[in-house]
Amino acid sequence: MHDIDLFGLRDHFQRQDILLAFNGPISRGLIEEIGNALKNYLQAEDTAPAAVSDVFGTYVEMTQNIRHYAARQGYTDTESAATVVVARDREGHYVVVAGNLVETADGRALVDRIDELAGMDAAALKAAFKTQLRAPREEGADSGAGLGLIDIARKSARPLSARLEEAPGDRAFFSLQAVIQQHPKT
């Protein structure tokens, strides 16, 4: 049996203002269940509806991207595990962070794309979204780093940030962070 310091983990979560944390294989049903729990929690906290929508949408987009990537790669349950955290920062913004194992080359390309998006202002992100929306999609083609990622960048109060950390084999652990502003209640 593992000697897990659950009280210490709880204390860490509270000090970091972590609202939700998940680590493990992720299915469509689990994405939905966790998303509903997150939405209910935010609504119970009297979060502005626009912020609830943005946090929920960001969480869903990130986790679905992880699930789809793992399926395309043919990863096992262990390899397809997602790590997801939703927290609040000192300013009261919501921080949504998700990560997973990726092929190193894929991770580098994604970090480059996110760095590109992080350098865009709101007008450039809107234009990129419209361009991507109008771009023809090849049937069965991967739309990686497409509309969903641009949408997350548009919702984020700060530029997106990504990390890539070496893992065994030709893999790396990719993580993406978005900061969603707590909108005033209307």
**Whole-angstrom distance, CA of residue 94 vs CA of residue 50:** 12
Please give the pLDDT value at position 182: 84
| Opening angle at CA 173, ends 168 and 176, nearest 5 | 175
pLDDT at position 164: 97
Looking at residue 183, what DSSP letter applies? P
Helix axis angle for 49-73 and 147-155, nearest 10°, is 150
For the chain, which ranges sit under pLDDT 70? 1, 138-145, 184-186
* Mean pLDDT for the chain overall: 91
